[in-house]
Amino acid sequence: SSSSEISISFFMHGVYLHLPPASLTSRVLNTLKAEKDVDGISDVNIGRLVRGDLSKGFVPPIASAVLDLLEKHGEFAQKEFVPILNNFSIWTQNSNHYPKHCTDDIQPLKPCWSTIFLGLLHCKQDQKFTVTRECGQTNLLDVLITACFVCISPLILAPEPKKWYLSLFLYLIDIEISRAQKPKSMNQLAEEIGLLPEELEAYGRNKAKVQLSLLDRLHTQPDGKYVLVAGITPTPLGEGKSTVTIGLVQALSAHLKFNSFGCLRQPSQGPTFGVKGGAAGGGYAQVIPMEEFNLHLTGDIHAITAANNLVAAAIDARMLHEATQSDKALFNRLVPTVNGVRRFSPIQISRLRRLGINKTDPATLTPQEVTSFVRLDLDPSKITWQRVVDTNDRFLRKITVGQASTEKGQIRETGFDIAVASEIMAILALADSLLDMKNRLARMVVGTSRSGQPVTAEDLGVSGALAVLMKDAIKPTLMQTLEGTPVFVHAGPFANIAHGNSSVLADKLALKLVGRDGFVVTEAGFGADIGMEKFFNIKCRASGLRPSVVVLVATVRALKMHGGGPNNLGLVADGCYSNLRKQIQIAHLFGVPVVVAVNVFKTDTKAEIDLVCQIAKECGASDAVPCHHWAKGGQGCLDLAKAVNEATITPGNFQFLYNIEMPIVEKIRTIAQKVYGADDIELSPEAKDYGSLPICMAKTHLSLSHMPDKKGAPTGFILPIRDVRASIGAGFIYPLVGTMSTMPGLPTRPCFYDIDLDPITEEITGLF
């Protein structure tokens, strides 16, 4: 071609005919050349497959997948299998259901099938070969049931052969569903939800930080409706609050066309590699890409770890230097002469002000003032600050530091917490601006002096550096669901000793973005007695936001546990009338309407689901609906979305559970009696009163009481408070109820056994 002319040639490789079943006769099918027969349904290809000749023609999709999997796992050689294909014309009729469904636009996902597991089960000698499908709540086509039969030729040809029933299990694997969808670009998502280009900081292709300046730009925009997803007292693996949250926002956005935003916590590496796995949701209700959601994300937890451990290092360094230097030497090093001039830094002037010393010239301090300034005099036995790591490591719960000769005898016992239990994480979740976060970091109490005075991060001179480490972490991370609904992922405070909710800033930004008629759906950790109570009494006090409705997630399996056993309608009813009813009552204490979402599992019967919905409404729920979001995405949560919308029409009458000025004992007693159902509390003599701060009970999530094995709605118990501590920076008091661990341990077989990386494709396997 010349520079002004382009010649394009087209080469025809085949013709696809979409014909009705009645037209797919052998005569029609056999007119196809074997090498052009993409479905492998002509007599020639079927004959080759029966003979086990896979070298010519085209292997049909299901047969190819089965053989590929078997070869990959080394179960049998291909020659040992003779696939006999039946009714493959059905694939021609349903060509849109091939295993690949990625599209350039975000559409509500079509069904896709994932990994195939084969199980061989012994059957009677005269039983025929059949293929069945067990895929839980999936909406896969029934055509897969009759698509192929697989026989094992060595068994057939052997004398007196055993006959086997071959069950073809088709399960949807979360990570593969995630990869089957192509996310929108961050720029497209940002434009759709009303962000300006300069308000977005991209972190790769699939996630971005959002500038807090957005709050100033939209300060006149009315807030949307605020929905909290909580749950009944869970089983150890949880009841699906995250999947319900995601399914609900997908239903509201993609199906009912409301502006909607999900606000989720960032998962810790602890559970991701421990017992529960990731927290991106599951099935067709998840945040994508789920690998990025569950691993590192934008580094916020790493920033918290770095900041927390900087404080710990500063504590031990200060104690060492105070123990080995005179007041004069300490002063000369803390306030060095630079270019012949000695000056206090701003953070040191703040310390002088707290000491009542209104001087700015180092030369004017008296010897007594110098001593007060340089000596924090931390009591080693009363240091409350610990180091953190984002891994479940029970052997770090108690350690000894200072054993090297260079530490000069400064030996003391300390320990590690999981990173998300750090007070810095709680501060990140409750701060409403960079300035607020900086001030909260400065107020953190790290221990007590020998004279009984609290010592803060600002006293250590480290709070400014902490703000620097946290300056990017304070910005929420924008991601999206499988159906393209926006999600903010931000903060992830431990739900036992902290308040277990995502950030105030994420909620505030989302409420402005969705506008008056939109919805923001956020999630609280564990059962309503922990996460929801703390959401109302701590987070709502800090944010000034008021919820519109509570979605209470329940499962039949958890209700059976609370009813006392595994199997029958009586046990389900007992669980409903105990734990479910109590959790509904807790929400009503705050004047908020409740919609019960029954997260349906494949093992649940219709009678069980109907019974839960009926009793939930008897117990005061505005509505109760079954949810199939895992299998159907937003479509499976449509009834819930409609019920939530209906519940927000009538304004609630939100109220706090207690007055913040009440004495600490009365605040604790109010929670124990009204929320947990205790008769009273038993307070340890060591407990202190820290004044006008909300309460953040540190309690087991496995029971309404302090006893994990007490299910249902226990009564007649005394709640033991063994100590009362304060997170002054975060702004709450946390009473310790019974025994609580802030560092989980790994099980015998952690999730990391299944997690791996393909070095060629860089694909991650084994994440849920």
Residue 486 CB neighbours (<10 A): 25
Catalytic residue among 34, 217, 235, 276: 276
Given the DSSP bridges, would you call strands 260-264 and 225-231 parallel, antiparallel or unpaired?
Answer: unpaired
Catalytic residue among 63, 230, 495, 528: 495
Confidence class of residue 748 from pLDDT cuts 50, 70 and 90?
confident
Q: Extract the tokens encoding 372.
A: 């007060």
Q: Is the Cβ–Cβ distance between 641 and 252 less than 8 Å? A: yes
What would you report as the CA-atom Rg of the chain, rounded to the nearest whole angstrom?
A: 31
Whether 590 sits among the annotated catalytic residues: the reply is: no
pLDDT of residue 30: 73
Whether 276 sits among the annotated catalytic residues: the reply is: yes
Asked whether the predicted pLDDT for residue 617 surpasses 90, the reply is: yes
pLDDT of residue 167: 33
Rounded Cα distance, 230 and 242, in Å: 10
Q: Extract the tokens encoding 559.
A: 């209700």
In degrees rounded to 5, what are phi and psi of residue 137? -95, 15
Catalytic residue among 92, 233, 243, 391: 243
Q: Which helix (H) or strand (E) holds 670?
A: helix 664-670
Asked whether the predicted pLDDT for residue 585 surpasses 60, the reply is: yes
Confidence class of residue 122 from pLDDT cuts 50, 70 and 90?
very low
CATH level 3 topology of 175-298+472-648: Rossmann fold (3.40.50)
- Strand, helix or coil for residue 331: helix
Which of 578, 577, 575 is closest to 557 using CA atoms? 575
Q: Torsion angle, CA of 471/486/493/446, rounded to 10 degrees?
A: 10
Catalytic residue among 164, 169, 601, 717: 601
Asked whether the predicted pLDDT for residue 158 surpasses 50, the reply is: no
Rounded Cα distance, 473 and 361, in Å: 36
Enumerate the domain spans of the chain.
Answer: 11-75+163-170, 175-298+472-648, 301-470, 664-736
Rounded Cα distance, 354 and 456, in Å: 11
301-470 belongs to CATH 3.30.1510.10: yes
Catalytic residue among 526, 590, 732, 768: 526
pLDDT tens-digit readout, 139-157? 333 333 333 333 322 222 2
Asked whether the predicted pLDDT for residue 118 surpasses 80, the reply is: no
DSSP-derived secondary structure letter, 105: S
29-38, 78-87, 533-542, 598-607: least confidently modelled range: 78-87
Whether 601 sits among the annotated catalytic residues: the reply is: yes
Residue 649 CB neighbours (<10 A): 10
pLDDT of residue 408: 86
Peptide bond into 21 cis (omega under 30): no
Class of domain 664-736 as given by CATH? alpha beta
Strand order through the sheet with 445-449 = 378-383, 445-449, 454-456
Q: Is the Cβ–Cβ distance between 536 and 547 less than 8 Å? A: yes
pTM: 0.78
Whether 656 sits among the annotated catalytic residues: the reply is: no
Sign of the C-alpha dihedral computed for residues 296, 297, 301 and 302 taken in this order: positive
pLDDT of residue 41: 65
Catalytic residue among 241, 534, 539, 699: 241
Distance of CA 164 to the CA centre of its chain: 42
pLDDT tens-digit readout, 693-726? 999 999 999 999 999 999 999 999 999 998 888 8
Whether 448 sits among the annotated catalytic residues: the reply is: no
Percentage of residues in the chain having pLDDT higher than 90: 62
Catalytic residue among 265, 351, 438, 512: 265
Whether 375 sits among the annotated catalytic residues: the reply is: no
Confidence class of residue 119 from pLDDT cuts 50, 70 and 90?
very low
Catalytic residue among 630, 667, 732, 768: 630
Q: Is 372 left (phi over 0), alpha (psi -120 to 50) or beta?
A: alpha
Whether 241 sits among the annotated catalytic residues: the reply is: yes
pLDDT of residue 249: 97
Rounded Cα distance, 604 and 559, in Å: 12
Q: Is the Cβ–Cβ distance between 584 and 619 less than 8 Å? A: yes
Sign of the C-alpha dihedral computed for residues 668, 672, 678 and 682 taken in this order: negative
